[in-house]
């Protein structure tokens, strides 16, 4: 008598999703460079999905992500409200196969 165990693995067939979109954050113009502006979070229903984050557009050198894995958005360059009072960034969450973009507004 033989016993066979079959394990069905999850296929990476669902894109990550951001919760609470649209994402809006307020900061003061005197926020020191290097400080955290926001912590971005996406989830992936696939068990094998490992989410990484990237800035797609709108960055213009003012912001950066700590690492691709954390989703922590930090201030890279000082802000001047008199010059510009709103920034719109397109952020991508990717699971290596599929991705989802969302807009992040910083005021």
Give the global pTM: 0.86
Mean pLDDT score across all residues of the chain: 92
Q: What secondary structure does DSSP assign to 8-41, as a single string?
A: PPPP--S--EESSSSEEE---TTPPTT-EEEE--
| The architecture CATH gives domain 17-106 | Sandwich (2.60)
What are the tens digits of pLDDT across the range 37-88?
999 999 998 877 789 999 999 978 999 998 888 999 999 999 999 999 999 9
What are the tens digits of pLDDT across the range 2-43?
999 998 887 888 899 998 888 999 999 999 999 999 999 999
> What is the spatial distance between Cα 3 and Cα 42, in angstroms, rounded to a whole number?
40
Other beta carbons less than 10 A from residue 102's beta carbon? 20
The C-alpha angle 97, 99, 100, rounded to 5 degrees, equals 165
3-class state of residue 100 by DSSP: strand
DSSP annotation of 9: P
């Amino acid at each position: 008598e033989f016993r066979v165990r079959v394990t069905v693995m999850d296929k990476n067939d669902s894109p990550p999703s951001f919760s609470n979109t649209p994402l809006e954050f307020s900061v003061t113009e005197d926020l020191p460079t290097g400080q955290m502006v926001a912590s971005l979070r996406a989830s992936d229903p696939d068990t094998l999905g490992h989410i990484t984050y990237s800035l797609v557009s709108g960055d213009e050198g003012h912001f950066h992500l700590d690492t691709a894995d954390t989703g922590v958005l930090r201030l890279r360059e000082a802000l001047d409200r008199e010059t510009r009072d709103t920034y719109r960034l397109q952020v991508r969450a990717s699971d290596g196969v599929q991705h989802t973009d969302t807009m992040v507004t910083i005021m």
